[in-house]
Amino acid sequence: MATADRTRSFMKDVKRVIIKVGTAVVTRQDGRLALGRLGALCEQVKELNTLGYEVIMVTSGAVGVGRQRLKYRKLVNSSFADLQKPQMELDGKACAAVGQSGLMALYDMLFTQLDVSSSQLLVTDSDFENPNFRERLCETVESLLDLKVVPVFNENDAISTRKAPYEDSSGIFWDNDSLAGLLAIELKADLLVLLSDVDGLYSGPPSEPQSKLIHTYIKEKHHNEITFGDKSRVGRGGMTAKVKAAFVASNSGTPVVITSGFASQSIVRVLQGEKIGTLFHKDASSWEPSKDVSAREMAVSARECSRRLQNLSSDERKKILLDVADALEANEDLIRAENEADVVAAQDAGYEKSLVARLTLKPGKIPSLAKSIRTLANMEDPINQILKRTEVAEDLVLEKTSCPLGVLLIVFESRPDALVQIASLAIRSGNGLLLKGGKEAMRSNTILHKVITDALPDNIGKKLIGLVTSRDEIADLLKLDDVIDLVIPRGSNKLVSQIKASTKIPVLGHADGVCHVYVDKSADMDIAKRIVMDAKIDYPAACNAMETLLVHKDLIKSPGLDDILLSLKTEVAIYGGPIAHELLSIPKADSFHHEYSSLACTVEFVDDVQSAIDHIHLYGSGHTDCIITTDSKVAETFLRQVDSAAVFHNASTRFSDGARFGLGAEVGISTGRIHARGPVGVEGLLTTRWIMRGIGQVVNGDKDVAYTHKNLPLE
């Protein structure tokens, strides 16, 4: 089990939670109350109350309310002469005292609107010196919580005997952060949430890009790493005060999360176990540090390992693949046992049959995977190839060479064999890899990952291939655009669409495959029938299966077309566009942009090849489209103009596939236009580097160099 599970798994047992809302959260930059945030906060408290949590609040903000009131009061009391004088800044403590009742009235009003009862509890430092007070306070709070009333705490500034400045660590508490920490212990809270104006504790000032959010604070690891920025712009606390309070509370057994009071629903999300903010937990140091590896750290390690991998000779990389193949075969029994356990669990959990089928490593699968890895091992080394050589000037030679992309993230569903294929492709192409598989294949993926990485030599390092098993949501991985170079989703259209919609990392793949077959009036109708049937029926769920059959209008009611439709209808549900629906008396298709992925298709008539092309541009997905014709001029028009990744003449759309194209191992099929398009082989995992060798040439305003720009042979 990875730590992320462990570090936040206690959240499901949290019942009593203290929420501390600081001045920076409830106050705007201009000193006025941030009513929008305050309202949203009360809505969250209402939600937690409804969900059965016991919510206790510690709030600041009285200063903002009080300043407002005092200003008005001064104005009312002023003579005209007074108003001429420069206005003195109002004393913060006076403001706080005056504002207390106003703030509480505001909370009361907001909560009342939400059907929540709240109560005010004003305390001073000295109160806590009295043990009777502590006992009484606990009883009172218990009673309130039993009645589902939200206690709202604040320091009783109006009657506090202490003088400003408040920073005075000799007291029992000295600001609302330390009050919250104290209450967490006194009231035996299960969690203390300290709301901040930043997302949590960073390794440095949050505004600097190299500062990273710390998800789980570990004293040994982070104590010397953190540099604090300036204090918060408002309020007494700032991050230092929060961290201090977090230490106190978490050491006494109440875990603490520092998180943003600006982000939507942040408290609810923390309680749902989402890995936002910074967690302080007394056991964090004992959690195995190796288990707290973040996806970011995994990506950085994978890149380091990949640089060493790239630096090996081609034969050394080949040997690694052969070792991996041997290791898979040697561990076949172990792998199949783990896979069997996944399969049984999936069946017990009532998963769909098709998922269980994809999950299962059938007998013979491991040897066949090993065989394909050996084929890959023997293929020409794709990296460090010289793609272009140019003599730039005398004794100045430029080479364009192939090299790995860097770090790939593969998100795959069910199929554990995908892990093996992708890992071996990554090794062959010198890339680092992060794997994120479905939880239904957890045991299979874990053993496969272990067998493969155990076969990696020490001079490369096992971290070349990271298996992300934590509860890190895919969404978090997809944010790592600075350390991951390419995402390859292997799974449903929905998975691909979701990934594309939520990342800035380039995605190699296709969301949908709305492939067309256009039968021209000049078509050989036997060929047309054969191809239409194959394109739809050979594997209807494939992305390269036909979804729409376009037919030249001259073929309406022709015996050839009737024959095709008759054959189709025996196996396929057909739907018509507006014209076909009328003429063929078939049900109307809802939309032309529709991927059935099953034994169903749309049929429509078009005027000519140009209309077919326009239709494909309007409704297609740019995957694979095909024309059936004997007229080579019409064929060339179609081949030239259809702007899709693959365009075929008299051949089934089902040929659109890396293996059938002869690309060897297939990375995926891309409908994107950048980097790689259509079926993509290992070249989709490569980029280039420019290498130049000279003898001391300089540019010097381009005055000295005689550029020749001569192409040289590649050797």
Stated as kind and residue range, the H or E segment containing 561 is helix 559-571
**Secondary structure (3-state) at 680:** strand
Type of residue at 604 = E
What one-letter code names the amino acid at 274? E
Strand (E) positions, 135-264? 149-155, 191-196, 256-260
**226-234, 241-249, 551-559, 636-644 -> range binding a copy of itself (CB under 8 A):** 636-644
Exactly one of 674, 706, 713, 715 binds a copy of itself (CB under 8 A); that residue is: 674
Give the N- to C-terminal CA distance of the chain in Å, as an integer: 52
* Cα Rg of the chain (Å, integer): 34
- Asked if 194 touches a copy of itself (CB under 8 A), the answer is no
Any contact of residue 696 with a copy of itself (CB under 8 A)?
A: yes
Distance CA 283, CA 294 (A): 18
Residue 234, φ and ψ in degrees, nearest 5: -135, 170
Token pair recorded at residue 371? 């065989």
Binding mask 591-630 for a copy of itself (x = CB under 8 A): --------------------------x-------------
The region of 6-14, 253-261, 317-325, 389-397 touching a copy of itself under the rule CB under 8 A is 389-397
**Identity at 239, one-letter amino acid code:** M
Nearest approach in angstroms of CB 192 to a copy of itself is: 23
Distance of CA 28 to the CA centre of its chain: 31
Q: Which stretch binds a copy of itself (CB under 8 A): 125-133, 290-298, 449-457, 681-689?
A: 681-689
CB 390 within 8 A of CB 342: no
Site for a copy of itself in 30-69 (CB under 8 A): 32-43, 46, 65, 68
Task: Point out which span in 350-358, 360-368, 449-457, 687-695 binds a copy of itself (CB under 8 A).
Answer: 687-695
Task: Using CB under 8 A, pick the residue from 646, 665, 667, 682 that binds a copy of itself.
Answer: 646
Cβ 608 to a copy of itself shortest distance, Å:
16
Choices 113-121, 148-156, 286-294, 561-569 (CB under 8 A): range interacting with a copy of itself: 113-121
For a copy of itself, the binding residues in 400-439 under the rule CB under 8 A are 403, 405-406
Q: Does 134 bind a copy of itself (CB under 8 A)?
A: no
Q: What does the per-residue mask of binding to a copy of itself show for 70-109, with x meaning CB under 8 A? A: -xx-----------------------------x--xx--x
Task: Find all residues with CB under 8 Å of 143, minimum gap 6, and list them.
Answer: none
Q: What is the 3-state secondary structure (H, E, C) of 54-114?
A: EEEEEECCHHHHHHHHHHHHHHHHCCHHHHHCCCCCCCHHHHHHHHHHHHHHHHHHHHHHC
Amino acid letter, residue 246: A
Residue 272 binds a copy of itself (CB under 8 A): no
Q: Hey, which residues between 536 and 555 contact a copy of itself (CB under 8 A)? A: 538
Q: Which of 275, 260, 240 lies closest to 197, judged by CA?
A: 260
Nearest distance, CB of residue 63 and a copy of itself, angstroms: 13
Among 158, 341, 392, 583, binds a copy of itself (CB under 8 A): 392
Contact between 689 and a copy of itself (CB under 8 A)?
yes
Shorter beta-carbon distance to a copy of itself: residue 76 or 695: 695
714 in contact with a copy of itself (CB under 8 A): no
Nearer to a copy of itself, 591 or 598 (CB): 591
Distance CA 168, CA 113 (A): 38
